Amino acid sequence: MLATADAKTIASVQTAGMGQAVMGRHAESLVAVLGSCIGVAAYHPRSHVGVLAHVVLPDSNGRSGPPAKFADTAVPYLLELLKAEGVNSTGLTVKIAGGASMFASSGPMQVGAANIEAVGAALAKAGLHVAAQHVGGPKGRRVTLDCRTGELRVEIAGVISAIL
Amino acid sequence: MTQVTNDNRVELLHCFFSAATHDASAAMCRWTGGLISMQLDEVCEIPLEEVCAEYDFGDGPSTMIVLSLQGELGGDMILSFDDNNGRRLAATLLKQPLNAAAEWTPLEKSALMETGNILGCAYMNALTRLVGTQLVPSPPTFLQDYGASVLQQALVAQAMTCEKALICRTRFEERGAALDWNVFFVPSDALRAAMQDALDN
């Protein structure tokens, strides 16, 4: 795909790394590759502005760090980003994906499930309803938010599994 | 961005991972009849948000063998191939022609998992010797998934306490020529601390 795309197309794709949030408009696409992390996509259909956060952990417990890293700080941060662009939370469409439990680890076994729950709670606290979700399971996901349409494409192992 | 040369602590940890890679390479060489060896590529501390961009796994899924450390000192080892290279290794080990079918056979998976087991045990035995605490890897898991997803999953434990990920990457060679295979080792914070203590003492 990249081999035939022009520079404008390449520049229109932004990737959210771990703990990052990215914003796009109109023809831009926002991408994240997720394991136990959650991709939180918020989209305003009238202004065609979207944001995507790559949430790593459920709770900041008051510690500092990139705001999009934790569920409890990521949701307010996304709203701040949108507000700074003149987009308020009324009419936002929110979709989430990720939260897999991929392989046995000596680390936190249930972090995927904890992330799903914490993101849901943070969104509810902010008065936001989850319009669609594709969460859990044992496999990683690549999610792409199309800022023209607000569609969230979810791929598992290279195969499109859902359009939310 | 990547801090490899200017960080003394990371350079000291490099000694540990060099020794582990040396032992794993010897085991790999024996297992493949002298065909495949390993070289330590880099040990780096990198901001979590840059991991995806730093390690480009490509658009499609990779074939991976994952071993997780059991016990107090955790960590994950990920042996990653593109699909063709994984198939080629399995065919070589099984002394069979390359399998062109889409699905991996149980025998192919088993050959790759055994490779991960041999490599992982040699690697962990070397680290055990250096750290002074027994490191026991889990049975290997065969995965076909996004490499970035699996690496990020391995980094979650580190992400709980710090903003930078410590990653050790090892490359493979076939009779001196580079192969598109990698081993990523991601120690837990506890293992990082144990390695640091061992270095200090």
Residue in B with minimal Cα distance to A34: B149
* Contact status of B55 with chain A (Cβ, < 8 Å): no
Enumerate domains of chain B plus CATH numbers: 6-200 (3.40.1550.10)
Compute the mean pLDDT over every residue in chain A, rounded to the nearest whole number: 87
Q: Between residues A23 and B100, which one has the greater pLDDT? A: A23
Contact across the interface for A1 and B52, Cβ inside 8 Å: no
Task: Output the pLDDT for position A119.
Answer: 97
Q: State the pLDDT confidence band at A163, using cuts at 50, 70 and 90.
A: very high
Task: Output the pLDDT for position B99.
Answer: 81
Task: Output the pLDDT for position A147.
Answer: 94
Residue B15, min C-alpha distance to chain A (Å): 24
- Cβ contacts of A144 on chain B, cutoff 8 Å: none
Contact across the interface for B159 and A104, Cβ inside 8 Å: no
* Contact status of A35 with chain B (Cβ, < 8 Å): yes
Mean per-residue pLDDT for A92-97?
A: 96
Task: Output the pLDDT for position A98.
Answer: 95
Whether the pLDDT of residue A7 is over 90: the answer is no
Q: State the pLDDT confidence band at A104, using cuts at 50, 70 and 90.
A: low
Task: Output the pLDDT for position A92.
Answer: 94
Task: Output the pLDDT for position A116.
Answer: 95
Whether the pLDDT of residue A76 is over 50: the answer is yes
Of B138, B150, B163, which is closest to A65 when you measure between CB atoms?
B163
Nearest to A41 by CA among A135, A144, A162: A144
Residue in A with minimal Cα distance to B156: A56
Helix (H) or strand (E) segment spanning residue A78: helix A71-84
Report the percent of chain A where pLDDT is more than 70.
89
Q: What angle do CA A104, A108, A110 make, to 5 degrees?
A: 80
Cα A141 from Cα A139, distance rounded (Å): 7
Alpha helix ranges (H) inside B61-146: 83-94, 106-131
Q: State the pLDDT confidence band at A38, using cuts at 50, 70 and 90.
A: very high
* Contact status of B85 with chain A (Cβ, < 8 Å): no
Task: Output the pLDDT for position B130.
Answer: 86
A147 is catalytic: no
Longest dimension (CA), chain A: 46
What global pTM score does this model have?
Answer: 0.84
Coarse DSSP helix, strand, coil percentages of chain A, rounded to the nearest 5 percent: 25, 35, 40
Q: State the pLDDT confidence band at A3, using cuts at 50, 70 and 90.
A: very low
Cα A117 from Cα A59, distance rounded (Å): 11
Contact across the interface for A100 and B156, Cβ inside 8 Å: no
Task: Output the pLDDT for position A67.
Answer: 92
Lowest mean pLDDT among A36-50, A74-88, A97-111, B24-38: A97-111
Contact across the interface for A17 and B74, Cβ inside 8 Å: no
Q: Which among A37, A92, A119, A164 is annotated as catalytic?
A: A37
Per-residue pLDDT of chain B (201 residues; tens, 9 = 90+): 444 434 677 777 888 889 889 999 999 889 888 888 888 888 888 888 888 778 777 778 888 999 988 877 888 889 988 788 888 888 888 888 888 887 889 999 999 999 999 999 999 999 898 888 888 888 899 988 988 888 888 888 778 877 788 888 888 888 878 887 888 888 888 888 888 888 777
Task: Output the pLDDT for position A10.
Answer: 44
How many other CB atoms sit within 10 Å of the CB of residue A86? 9
Q: What angle in degrees, to the nearest 10, is found between the helix axes of B189-200 and B147-159?
A: 60
Report the percent of chain A where pLDDT is more than 90.
68
DSSP state of A44: E
Whether the pLDDT of residue A5 is over 50: the answer is no
Task: Output the pLDDT for position B6.
Answer: 46
Task: Output the pLDDT for position B43.
Answer: 86
ipTM value: 0.80
Contact across the interface for A157 and B152, Cβ inside 8 Å: no
For an interface test with A, which of B49, B54, B65 has the most A Cβ atoms less than 10 Å from its Cβ? B49
Residue in B with minimal Cα distance to A61: B160
Whether the pLDDT of residue A108 is over 90: the answer is no
Q: Please spell the DSSP secondary structure of B148-170, one letter per residue.
A: HHHHHHHHHHHHTT-SEEEEEEE
Of B148, B153, B159, which is closest to A57 when you measure between CB atoms?
B159
Residue A142, min C-alpha distance to chain B (Å): 8
Q: Which residues are within 8 A (CB) of A53 and not within 5 positions of it... i.e. 6 or more apart?
A: A16, A20, A21, A39, A40, A68, A74, A75, A77, A78
Residue B116, min C-alpha distance to chain A (Å): 15
Q: Between residues A8 and B181, which one has the greater pLDDT? A: B181
- Cβ contacts of A158 on chain B, cutoff 8 Å: 59-61
- Cβ contacts of B66 on chain A, cutoff 8 Å: 103
- HSE-up (13 A, CA, CB side) for residue B150: 30
